[in-house]
């Protein structure tokens, strides 16, 4: 009779050393607790009579696979978890962190071709035959008069010139000088008489009030002279920044800024001498002074005013005659003169 499976397992434990079998390397990693179980089984089997295995028992024993519990602490028999292989990519180029650059002053903005444009304007104005050249505010004072009177006349001529053509301003100044253009003389002149003398300058009624009030301040505060600073000049009635800068230049010989009137304002915007379009002459002055060299400031007013009177007109500019027509953003591409429309024949009376 063949032995059952339990008896075969018991005999296998007692006969392991007797048969001289070598334990498989797989089982050599089992814990001591597992081996101790076999040791205790051996001690029990020593007291029992040994039986000789038959040939059939040996064959059956060889077919059995021992069932051994794995110890939870035994890492050798744990299942291996397969992980997804992730390929390692190496950068071919080593990126070096750039050090921050040292702060440096940015190059100030300046318009394209401004030097050539300025030279061309000088070339077109070389004859100095524009109204501003003979009737400008720097030409209307009496240079032989007392210095205080002369400076006062410069101020009055500029107050009259606002929104007024040079020809009209010049005519009014000639009448005032004939009447007597000084602080005491104007204070003794009635408003009606003063209006007759300065008419028809622009806003002549308002200018009567400005001239009278300013003249009173000069007598009371400046000993019949004009203020020597820009800050004080702009505080006078009827005196704006453009007038004040020109007064400081012509009357005191001190350059404080560019005198920007409607002509200078218009031309600077047409030439793109301002980084962004400006709406007021004072905005234009600030924008141009940021980049234009200071040694060019004094020439700009008379140069551009005359250029605006003769070539760069407010309406219908003569771009076809302008040397800047190919480098002027406003007149670029205008190379031919406009066709003159035939004159209309008058009907016979």
pLDDT tens for each residue of 61-95: 566 555 555 555 555 445 555 666 666 654 554 44
The answer on 289 and 161 residing in a single domain is yes
Quote the pLDDT of residue 332: 80
**Catalytic residue chosen out of the listed positions 242, 279, 344, 347:** 242
Quote the pLDDT of residue 224: 98
Contacts of 76 (CB under 8 A, 6+ apart): 29
The answer on 166 and 36 residing in a single domain is no
Please check whether residue 93 lies inside any domain of the structure.
Answer: no
How many structural domains is the chain composed of?
2
CATH for 119: 1.10.340.30
The answer on 189 and 66 residing in a single domain is no
Band of pLDDT at residue 341, cut at 50, 70 and 90? very low
Residue at a domain's end among 21, 48, 73: 73
Band of pLDDT at residue 7, cut at 50, 70 and 90? low
- 135-144's contacts with Cβ under 8 Å and 24+ in sequence apart are 135/166, 135/167, 135/169, 135/170, 136/166, 136/302, 136/305, 137/161, 137/169, 137/246, 137/250, 138/246, 138/250, 138/302, 139/170, 140/169, 140/170, 140/173, 142/177, 142/181
Token duo for residue 185: 């003389």
Please check whether residue 141 lies inside any domain of the structure.
Answer: yes
The answer on 118 and 66 residing in a single domain is no
The answer on 65 and 133 residing in a single domain is no
DSSP 105-132: PPPPP--TTHHHHHHHHHHHTTT--SHH
Please check whether residue 188 lies inside any domain of the structure.
Answer: yes
The answer on 249 and 150 residing in a single domain is yes
DSSP 258-324: ----HHHHHHHHHTT-SSS--SSHHHHHHHHHTTS-GGGHHHHHHHHHHHHHHTS-SSS--GGG-TT
Comparing C-alpha atoms, which of 254, 251, 221, 257 is closest to residue 236?
221
Band of pLDDT at residue 21, cut at 50, 70 and 90? very low
Residue at a domain's end among 51, 73, 95: 73
Residue at a domain's end among 16, 51, 73: 73
Q: Is 242 a catalytic residue?
A: yes
Q: For residues 319 and 325, is the Cβ–Cβ distance under 8 A?
A: yes
pLDDT of 10 over the 80 cut? no
pLDDT of 284 over the 60 cut? yes
pLDDT of 9 over the 90 cut? no
Token duo for residue 62: 């060889």
pLDDT tens for each residue of 140-165: 999 999 999 999 999 999 999 999 99
Please check whether residue 217 lies inside any domain of the structure.
Answer: yes
State the chain's mean pLDDT as an integer: 82
pLDDT tens for each residue of 93-137: 444 444 444 434 577 899 999 999 999 999 999 999 999 999 999
b/e sequence 213-233, b meaning 16+ C-beta within 10 Å: ebbeebeeebebbbbeebeeb
Average pLDDT score over residue span 35-60: 56
The answer on 135 and 283 residing in a single domain is yes
Please check whether residue 89 lies inside any domain of the structure.
Answer: no
The answer on 136 and 30 residing in a single domain is no
Please check whether residue 255 lies inside any domain of the structure.
Answer: yes
CA 298 – CA 293 distance, rounded (Å) = 10
Please check whether residue 292 lies inside any domain of the structure.
Answer: yes
The answer on 67 and 121 residing in a single domain is no
More confident residue, 37 or 215: 215
pLDDT tens for each residue of 304-317: 999 999 999 999 99
Q: Which residue has the tokens 């209309």?
A: 344
Average pLDDT score over residue span 288-292: 98
The answer on 137 and 30 residing in a single domain is no
Token duo for residue 113: 């071709």
Q: What is the pTM of this model?
A: 0.67
Quote the pLDDT of residue 62: 61
Token duo for residue 303: 């140069």
Comparing C-alpha atoms, which of 265, 328, 304, 129 is closest to residue 320?
328
The answer on 242 and 142 residing in a single domain is yes
The answer on 145 and 59 residing in a single domain is no
Please check whether residue 216 lies inside any domain of the structure.
Answer: yes
Query: Which residues span the domain enclosing 40?
Result: 5-73
């Amino acid at each position: 009779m063949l032995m059952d499976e339990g008896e075969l397992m018991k005999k296998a434990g007692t006969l392991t050393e007797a048969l001289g079998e070598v334990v498989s390397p797989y089982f050599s990693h089992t814990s001591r607790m597992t081996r101790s179980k076999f040791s205790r089984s051996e001690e029990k089997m020593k007291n029992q009579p040994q039986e000789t295995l038959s040939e059939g028992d040996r064959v059956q024993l060889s077919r059995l696979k021992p069932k051994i519990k794995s110890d939870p602490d035994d890492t050798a028999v744990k299942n291996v978890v397969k992980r997804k292989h992730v390929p390692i990519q190496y950068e071919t180029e080593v990126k070096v962190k750039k050090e921050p650059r040292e702060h440096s002053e940015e190059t100030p903005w300046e318009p394209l071709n401004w030097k050539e444009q300025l030279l061309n304007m000088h070339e077109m104005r070389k004859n100095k035959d524009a109204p501003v050249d003979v009737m400008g505010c720097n030409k209307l004072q009496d240079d032989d008069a007392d210095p205080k009177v002369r400076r006062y006349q410069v101020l009055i001529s500029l107050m009259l010139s606002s929104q007024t053509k040079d020809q009209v301003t010049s005519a009014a100044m000639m009448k005032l000088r004939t009447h007597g253009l000084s602080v005491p003389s104007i204070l003794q002149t009635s408003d009606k008489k003063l209006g007759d003398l300065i008419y028809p300058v622009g806003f002549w009624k308002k200018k009567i009030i400005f001239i009278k009030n300013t003249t009173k301040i000069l007598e009371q505060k400046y000993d019949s002279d004009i203020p020597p600073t820009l800050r004080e000049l702009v505080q006078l009635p009827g005196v704006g920044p453009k007038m004040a800068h020109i007064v400081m230049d012509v009357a005191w010989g001190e350059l404080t800024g560019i005198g920007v009137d409607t002509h200078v304002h218009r031309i600077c915007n047409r030439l793109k001498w301002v980084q962004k379009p400006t709406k007021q002459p004072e905005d234009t002055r600030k924008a141009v002074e940021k980049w234009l060299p200071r040694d060019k400031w004094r020439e700009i007013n008379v140069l551009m005013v005359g250029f605006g009177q003769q070539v760069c007109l407010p309406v219908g500019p003569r771009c076809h005659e302008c040397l800047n027509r190919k480098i002027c953003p406003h007149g670029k591409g205008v190379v031919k003169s406009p066709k003159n429309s035939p004159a209309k024949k008058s009907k016979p009376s």
